[in-house]
A and B are shown apart, each in its own frame.
Chain A
Amino acid sequence: MLKEKIENLKKQFLAEIERVKPSDEALFELEKKYTGRKSEFIAILKSLKDLSPEEKKQIGELANNTKNQIWEIIKNKRQEISENSFDAQKEKIDVTIPGKKKSAGHFNPISLVRRDIEDIFVSMGYEIADGPEVETGWYNFDALNIPKDHPARDMQDTFFLDAKDGEEKLSMRSQTSAVQARYMEKNKPPLRIIVPGKCYRREATDTTHDHTFYQFEALIVGENVNVGNLKFTAQEFFSAFFKQNVTVRLRPSYFPFVEPGFEFDISCTVCGGKGCRACKGGGWLEIGGAGMVNQNVFVSAGYPRNKYQGFAWGFGLERLAMMKYKIDDVRLFHGGDLRFVKQF
């Protein structure tokens, strides 16, 4: 009997919920009517205590399930109502209005280029080395096979520091190569390092020259290092840096700390070597200097003569940054103008 009663109630509920116009109030009323404290349902549940244990279990389960079904249906109806009531079009906005920006800073492009270069070299097993910028004559010149009174000391104009008579003249280092001897004194081959850093030359400034600049230098020393390896490494590096296949070309040149010494060019990154305005039609871009480490440099660093072979090559970071970002004036890097820096 109770069982029928419950089923009837359910039917009645189902019929009624179909009939009413769904609204939060109507649903509340229905919920109250069928499962509220004064509802028939609760009365049924209360009367369960008079039944036999078996019936109690059977009917109780049915009643509970039914109650839960009713709640479930009401819950779904409510969900339906709330979903139907939301109209996205009413909340439509103008998506072209500028966003509220988080303040974001900017790196100087030299930092960006330097980071890219360092990452490539570190992935090739290079250690990043550095050294002082105020250098002694020994490390800036003598140890690099540039003896006193040698014309090569004129190759770059050096910023010397004032010194009293008799004191040694220190200078602002004119090349990162000064770090070579310092590093080799403390480390034995095989070694591969890169030296990024600030260098100084007493040069008149114009759109392509600044007296302060960042150099980048790679040095590998071992027992079997050769010019072919230098070419390979340079090609690998520049291909990774410019994200395209780059060929390296060596031309004879002279730097006292290497022998043989080269200028190295890379195939034009704009036209791929066919010839364009960027490479002045030649298909090549001048990048930097390179060479096989002069045995005198090894000797200065305390290595035995002719035991090791190595190569060194270097270039200006500004030059790469200028190529990468098409910057036309080198003075912008140290110019401190935020209109420049904020572009990167």
Chain B
Amino acid sequence: MKYSYNWLKELSDTKLSQDIVRELLTMHSLEIEGMEEKKWNFDGVVVGKILEIRKHPNADKLQIAIVETQNFASVQKQNLQIVCGAPNIEVGQKVPVALVGTKLPNGIEIKEAEIRGEKSFGMLCALDELGLGADHSGIFILDSKAKIGEPAKKYLGVEDDTIFEIKVLPDRAHDATSHVGVAREISVLENKNFEYDFDGLKLPNKKSKKLIVKIEDRKLCSRYIGAVMENVEIKDSPSWMKQRLEASGIRPINNVVDATNYVMLELGQPMHAFDFSKISGQETRNKKQETNKIQIVVRKAKENEEMELLDETKLKLSDQDLLITNGETPLALAGIMGGKDSGINENTKTIILEAANFDAVNIRRSRTRLGVKTESSDRFEKEIDPNLAEKAIVRIIEVLEHTADAKLEGVIDVYPNKIKPCKIKLDLEYVNSLLGEIIPKKEIIRILNLLGIGTTIQPYKVVCIVPTFRVDLKTQEDLIEEIGRIWGYEKIEPRPLVEPIIPAKINEVLSFERRLGEISVGFGFDEMYNYSFYSEIDAKNCALDNVKHFELSSPMNPDQKYVRVSLIPNILKNIKTNLKNFESLNIFEIGKVYLCHPELVSGSGFRNEFRMTGTEEKRMFVMAQVLEKDPVNFAEAKHGASKNAETFYSIKGATENLLEKISVDENSISFNEVKLSKNHLAHAGRSAEILVDGEKIGMIGEINPLVLGKYKIGKRVAVCELDTEKLLKISQKELVYKALQKFPTITRDISMLAKGETKAIEIQKLIKKIGGDLVLNVSMFDVFFKDGVTSFAYHIEFGAPERTLENKEVDEVMGKIVAGLEKELGLEIRK
């Protein structure tokens, strides 16, 4: 909210500069987001006296004035001829004259001109031209005592000001969204009693004879004060008031509307003014004895009841919305906005002023449901003190007596359950123990009292009487905060904890994720952080649309509507982005996916950790690779001609390396072919499940070229996707050391040709099976494909634990292996 420094200064009577006020408020009270100087700049606008007026020879609506001023530079008297259109000037008047060369606040630059054949050396100014409101009805006439040639500024009733932009958080929204609230803070910080006579604002004992107020729903409207003022003259507000409204960002309208806003800015109470005549005009069915009165009835709307607001919005209401009515038709949407038909206009003579209190939650719900948010609803929904209504009505009556010459006819106050100050017993020991600093009792009392909190001292305790305008102060901790902040947090010394230190438990999953990151980076992979969202189209493109997704109810944009069930769609986007700058990519991401199981929702109530919300968050780890030279060749892919899959084998190698690094036994791992549909995210011919001891821990594979096509990625992408928590469990198995081979080993090479579908793993397994314990290691050192035939070549390492093998023995085993491979797998062994 915007606050005028001049206004705060007047209310608090402070002599402190803007900068010091800003610093004090920042450190002790409220966050000041900005400070802006508001300087009126009327350079070049001087006081002139009209010496002569004559008609413009060529234009009916124009006049020519001869004006006496002083030349600014030479301080010499000069008479200027100025063409002017305003009808309100007279000879002898003093007026603001903008000299040639002046740039006015509204942007107009004054130049020597010829208007319909007559020269004009300057301009006589109306208020709007000076940036002082919207009034363009005539030239602004200055005080007759104004000195000719002097800067006009000092006669225009303007004051330079500083505007503070203060961020008021919900705890202080009840009281500090007013100049009085902030001025009170300033007084407290200056250790002064607050000068503003807040307590003196008491309702006059003058009952209205023209008004009846009925509250039907006392829960939603805890108080309603109506004041009838007569003899109202609708006009512009005085300049000082307009300036203050504008300083706070509110456009001046007329003296009555301005007064409601002015009092709201001063005290924080939203107010409303109705045109009395328009209400009585609508009144039709009052009981006989009340026919000369009009009534205000506060009631809930009927379902589908309609009304039109001041701004001409037409609303269809629900039975939860609260209305101000004349007993029949709506006059205002309570606490939010007035109705169109009961508003003030230039003909208004008698008004009803409203200062009321409405239930915060209901206002909030109504304005959300109806989509109407106003200054008034903003304040009411933060809950304000019902006692404030009285202060505000007294203050506005005072104001309108001055600015509209209005007379109070009488007041009606319906306030069934008076709110009383609340009592809090404050334990003095607790103050010190929570703040960690001993604050003298005298200081505590002084601070509380300055804040308007009454105190009664008891042994070790202070009974505090909290004024009703501090809605936020409900607990001891609230009071301790008040004491702490006013006393000064900077005075609290940093102190080491005295709480015992207990060795922290290790968060295994998080430290495992960190380890995965370190390993991946060690292998040359770069880490990606992606959003947890993608679009419906992404889900479709990646063939994930058959998986139930959580959806954001109002995403930032449609591209981020779905909550991810896989890390891969965003990884593909990373690849697309980076292929612009890089030939090859190795990237990884560690993150969660969010699965939605509507069938698992169960339980009721909102506080139950065992309740099933149908959500499952899985921690995933994904590595992806693109090699420099491995483009997707659709023709090859279609015909199955290519068996070279560098990218696949590269990510597979990285995966194997990773599993080795986290101590997964090589023999427990298997990569199993899976049947996938042609449209699956993964390439149906180049994907496998990764199993460890028979349990699936993830997938590995190339991305389906059809999917890559949708992302316009021209190179092959291979991905390994692992379930982090499963991986963690496997990696936690105790590692057992294998004795080192003591005796020399013998290595033999064997190569073979396979037609058809023989798999490497089958060959490897068979070699091990036939060779038994003597085979220590089987490793492939070459493979190539030609004309539908695959050539495999292996090193086989033989050894025995307790002796040196003899060649003869190995020859014998090799013979069996060769025979086995030929017979069982139909391979052709190359000699």
- B604 nearest in chain A by CB position: A168
Which of B529, B592, B615 counts the most chain A CB atoms within 10 A?
B529
Flag if A259 contacts B481 (CB, 8 Å).
Answer: yes
CB distance from B610 to the nearest CB of A (A): 11
- Chain A stretch 184-216: residues in CB contact (< 8 A) with chain B: 185, 190, 192, 196, 198, 200, 202, 204-205, 211-212
Contacts of A103 in B (CB 8 A): 523-524, 586
Q: Contacts A226-B436, A252-B481 hold; do A104 and B529 have CB atoms under 8 A apart?
A: no
Flag if B485 contacts A252 (CB, 8 Å).
Answer: yes
Flag if B481 contacts A260 (CB, 8 Å).
Answer: yes
Q: Which of A155, A228, A252, A333 contacts B30 (CB 8 A)?
A: A252
Give how many B residues have a beta carbon under 8 Å from the other chain's beta carbons.
Answer: 96
Flag if A337 contacts B27 (CB, 8 Å).
Answer: no
Flag if A168 contacts B606 (CB, 8 Å).
Answer: yes
Which of B434, B521, B592 counts the most chain A CB atoms within 10 A?
B434
Interface segment among A32-40, A42-50, A134-142: the answer is: A134-142
Determine if B556 is an interface residue (Cβ-Cβ < 8 Å).
yes
Determine if B495 is an interface residue (Cβ-Cβ < 8 Å).
yes
Flag if B490 contacts A249 (CB, 8 Å).
Answer: yes
CB distance from B60 to the nearest CB of A (A): 55
Determine if A152 is an interface residue (Cβ-Cβ < 8 Å).
yes
Determine if B550 is an interface residue (Cβ-Cβ < 8 Å).
yes
Determine if B500 is an interface residue (Cβ-Cβ < 8 Å).
yes
CB distance from A25 to the nearest CB of B (A): 37
Determine if A149 is an interface residue (Cβ-Cβ < 8 Å).
yes
Flag if A134 contacts B615 (CB, 8 Å).
Answer: yes
Contacts of B435 in A (CB 8 A): 226-228
Q: Mark A257-270, 1 if CB is under 8 A from B, else 0.
A: 00111110000000
Distance between Cα atoms of A342 and B574 in the complex (Å): 14
- A157 nearest in chain B by CB position: B554
Flag if A338 contacts B553 (CB, 8 Å).
Answer: no
Contacts of B475 in A (CB 8 A): 259, 295
Q: Mark B91-120, 1 if CB is under 8 A from A, else 0.
A: 000000000000000000000000000000
Distance between Cα atoms of A216 and B592 in the complex (Å): 17
Distance between Cα atoms of A309 and B588 in the complex (Å): 42
Determine if B577 is an interface residue (Cβ-Cβ < 8 Å).
yes
Q: Mark A218-250, 1 if CB is under 8 A from B, else 0.
A: 001011111111011101000000000000111
Contacts of A333 in B (CB 8 A): 529
Contacts of A110 in B (CB 8 A): 529
CB distance from B121 to the nearest CB of A (A): 46
- B495 nearest in chain A by CB position: A228
Flag if B434 contacts A227 (CB, 8 Å).
Answer: yes
Distance between Cα atoms of A128 and B505 in the complex (Å): 8
Determine if B636 is an interface residue (Cβ-Cβ < 8 Å).
no
Determine if B811 is an interface residue (Cβ-Cβ < 8 Å).
no
Determine if A115 is an interface residue (Cβ-Cβ < 8 Å).
yes
Determine if B527 is an interface residue (Cβ-Cβ < 8 Å).
yes
Contacts of A133 in B (CB 8 A): 532, 592, 594, 617
Q: Which of A130, A168, A254 contacts B170 (CB 8 A)?
A: A254
Q: Contacts A134-B594, A161-B550, A229-B496 hold; do A253 and B527 have CB atoms under 8 A apart?
A: no
Flag if A225 contacts B497 (CB, 8 Å).
Answer: yes
Flag if B606 contacts A226 (CB, 8 Å).
Answer: no
Flag if A149 contacts B489 (CB, 8 Å).
Answer: no
Q: Mark B15-39, 1 if CB is under 8 A from A, else 0.
A: 0000000000011111100000000
Determine if B563 is an interface residue (Cβ-Cβ < 8 Å).
yes
Distance between Cα atoms of A202 and B555 in the complex (Å): 8
Q: Mark B505-518, 1 if CB is under 8 A from A, else 0.
A: 11101110010010
Contacts of B574 in A (CB 8 A): 336, 338
Contacts of B551 in A (CB 8 A): 161-162
Contacts of B601 in A (CB 8 A): 167
Determine if A132 is an interface residue (Cβ-Cβ < 8 Å).
yes
CB distance from B585 to the nearest CB of A (A): 7
Distance between Cα atoms of A205 and B555 in the complex (Å): 13
CB distance from B565 to the nearest CB of A (A): 12
Q: Which of A138, A224, A251 contacts B498 (CB 8 A)?
A: A224
Flag if A228 contacts B617 (CB, 8 Å).
Answer: no
Contacts of A295 in B (CB 8 A): 475, 477
Flag if A125 contacts B563 (CB, 8 Å).
Answer: no
CB distance from A259 to the nearest CB of B (A): 4
Flag if B503 contacts A125 (CB, 8 Å).
Answer: yes
Determine if A106 is an interface residue (Cβ-Cβ < 8 Å).
yes
Determine if A285 is an interface residue (Cβ-Cβ < 8 Å).
no
Distance between Cα atoms of A170 and B172 in the complex (Å): 29
- B437 nearest in chain A by CB position: A228
Flag if B499 contacts A225 (CB, 8 Å).
Answer: yes
Flag if B173 contacts A134 (CB, 8 Å).
Answer: no
Q: Which of A106, A143, A309 contacts B433 (CB 8 A)?
A: A309
Determine if B281 is an interface residue (Cβ-Cβ < 8 Å).
no
Flag if A220 contacts B499 (CB, 8 Å).
Answer: yes
Contacts of B382 in A (CB 8 A): 151
Determine if A172 is an interface residue (Cβ-Cβ < 8 Å).
yes
Contacts of B522 in A (CB 8 A): 104-105
Determine if A159 is an interface residue (Cβ-Cβ < 8 Å).
yes
Contacts of A260 in B (CB 8 A): 434, 477, 480-481, 484-485
Determine if B58 is an interface residue (Cβ-Cβ < 8 Å).
no
Determine if A326 is an interface residue (Cβ-Cβ < 8 Å).
no
Distance between Cα atoms of A260 and B433 in the complex (Å): 13
Distance between Cα atoms of A254 and B472 in the complex (Å): 11
Q: Which of A102, A108, A202 contacts B556 (CB 8 A)?
A: A202
Contacts of A204 in B (CB 8 A): 556
Determine if A73 is an interface residue (Cβ-Cβ < 8 Å).
no
Flag if B507 contacts A128 (CB, 8 Å).
Answer: yes
Distance between Cα atoms of A198 and B517 in the complex (Å): 17
Contacts of B734 in A (CB 8 A): none
Contacts of A57 in B (CB 8 A): none
Determine if B581 is an interface residue (Cβ-Cβ < 8 Å).
yes
Distance between Cα atoms of A115 and B477 in the complex (Å): 35
Flag if B497 contacts A134 (CB, 8 Å).
Answer: no
Q: Which of B489, B495, B570 contacts A336 (CB 8 A)?
A: B570
Q: Contacts A105-B586, A128-B507 hold; do A115 and B514 have CB atoms under 8 A apart?
A: yes
Determine if B573 is an interface residue (Cβ-Cβ < 8 Å).
yes
- Chain B stretch 706-746: residues in CB contact (< 8 A) with chain A: none
Q: Contacts A134-B594, A251-B27, A259-B478 hold; do A151 and B613 have CB atoms under 8 A apart?
A: no
- B478 nearest in chain A by CB position: A259
Q: Contacts A107-B517, A338-B587 hold; do A160 and B552 have CB atoms under 8 A apart?
A: yes
Determine if B778 is an interface residue (Cβ-Cβ < 8 Å).
no
Q: Which of B494, B520, B577 contacts A232 (CB 8 A)?
A: B494
CB distance from B558 to the nearest CB of A (A): 14
- Chain A stretch 255-314: residues in CB contact (< 8 A) with chain B: 256, 259-263, 292, 294-295, 300, 306, 309
Contacts of A108 in B (CB 8 A): 527-529
Contacts of A324 in B (CB 8 A): none
- A335 nearest in chain B by CB position: B577
20 A-B pairs with CB atoms under 8 Å apart are A102-B524, A103-B586, A105-B523, A105-B525, A108-B527, A125-B501, A125-B502, A128-B506, A133-B594, A150-B170, A151-B381, A169-B553, A224-B498, A226-B434, A252-B30, A260-B484, A260-B485, A334-B531, A336-B570, A341-B527
Residues of B within 8 A of A (CB): 26-31, 169-173, 360-361, 364-365, 381-382, 430, 433-437, 475, 477-478, 480-481, 484-485, 489-490, 492-507, 509-511, 514, 517, 520-532, 550-556, 563, 570, 573-574, 577-578, 581-582, 585-588, 591-592, 594, 601, 606-607, 609, 611, 613, 615, 617
Residues of A within 8 A of B (CB): 102-108, 110-111, 115, 122, 124-130, 132-134, 136-138, 142-143, 149-152, 155, 159-163, 167-170, 172, 182, 185, 190, 192, 196, 198, 200, 202, 204-205, 211-212, 220, 222-229, 231-233, 235, 248-254, 256, 259-263, 292, 294-295, 300, 306, 309, 333-334, 336-339, 341-342
Known pairs A161-B551, A172-B563, A227-B434 / 8 extra A-B pairs, C-beta < 8 Å: A103-B523, A106-B521, A125-B502, A133-B594, A161-B563, A227-B437, A229-B496, A231-B493
Closest 4 CB pairs of A and B: A228-B436, A226-B436, A103-B524, A260-B481
